Amino acid sequence: MERGQLINSVIKKVVKKDRTLVEVALKKMTTEELMLFKKTVDAKFKKPSVALLLGIINLDRFYLKESQAFLKFITFGGFLVWTILDLFTVRKRTRILNSEMLVRELSLFQFATKI
């Protein structure tokens, strides 16, 4: 995979507000660093489709490591109201979580390469 494709494959996973920051940081990396970073991030990404399927049985918040997971589970999804609402929002919440994780990993990766 060429350098431009690597950068684009990472950038498309980021929410719009973080794209410029991520793009600038990725362009400063060498191709080897970029490939290593992409491999690291891909391993930690949560899949929106998996979160959606788990949402049907009220386990999506455990998968996304959200604090209300246990409460949602023991109340049967807030008597199904919470479950229905989450089915409409789980994909967006997953994308936001992945974007935040990518930005966090990028700052850690930049720090580690400076040492």
Helix (H) or strand (E) holding 54: helix 48-56
Q: Using CA atoms, how far apart are residues 56 and 77, in angstroms rounded to an integer?
A: 9
Residues 6+ apart with CB under 8 A from 109: 33, 37, 40
Per-residue pLDDT of the chain (115 residues; tens, 9 = 90+): 788 888 888 888 888 888 898 999 999 999 999 999 999 999 999 999 999 999 999 999 999 999 999 999 999 999 999 999 999 999 999 999 999 999 999 998 888 877 6
For the record, the structure tokens of 71 come out as 């409460």
pTM of the entire predicted model: 0.86
Domain ranges of the chain: 3-114
Closest C-alpha among 38, 37, 3, 39 to residue 111: 37
